[in-house]
Amino acid sequence: MRKVFQAELQQVGDDLVEIANLVQVALRRAASSLLEADVQEAEEVISNDARIDMLQNHLDERSIDLLALQGPVASDLRMIVGALRMSASLERMGDLARHVAQVTRLRFPEPAVPSDLEGTLREMIELDETIIAAVINLLETRELHYADAVYTAKARINELHQSVFSKVTTAEWSSEAQTTIDVTLLSRYLERFGDHGVSVARKVTYLVTGEWDGSPTTTPPA
């Protein structure tokens, strides 16, 4: 019975990695659709989000069954409860990638990003790509230096996110209202993506150490 339980627990961990890998692909493709104004790519990101949702539901059902039938304690209990919370964060990261693609689709055939903010949003995307890659490595290896990479990238995203708001509120900003809304939302989506990455990193750190890490506090993921 114990071997079966451990196999089920391992599958929960594997499912988290699979979801994270799908989120990585979704972000990469959503970014490509945004920067290249590629509506076909955007449509595929939007439709493929259903697979992330399905896998999250399956993982949560498996985890709840383990809680109900196995009565886990100590580190096993932390793992299952942590997996439930991490799956929610990863699913939300997939949703945020979908939101980026939806902005692309809404503005097509025009680009959603004005040229004077393209560099800022491109850097935010690259940092989010760093975060999801580090999250995958963290889930696979439990090596906590990957968590540090998440926190470092998120700190820079916060700076860039603030710079977008500063840019669109200056007297020199001359873009129309819809463009202002688009870039504000896009910056917010990319910033929140990073927040959820931090949430996963902190939970893995807790699983490894039994204590909350000392990373900077971020706003709670939505």
Domains of the chain: 2-209 (1.20.58.220)
Q: Dmax over Cα atoms in the chain, in whole Å?
A: 68
| Three-state helix/strand/coil letters over 86-135 | HHHHHHHHHHHHHHHHHHHHHHCCCCCCCHHHHHHHHHHHHHHHHHHHHH
- Render 8-56 in DSSP notation, one character per residue: HHHHHHHHHHHHHHHHHHHHHHHHHHHHHT-HHHHHHHHHHHHHHHHHH
Q: Give residue 7's pLDDT.
A: 82
Q: Give residue 212's pLDDT.
A: 66
Q: Give residue 52's pLDDT.
A: 97
Positions in the chain short of pLDDT 70: 1-2, 71-72, 212-222
Q: Give residue 210's pLDDT.
A: 79
Q: Residue 95 and residue 65: Cα distance in Å, rounded?
A: 26
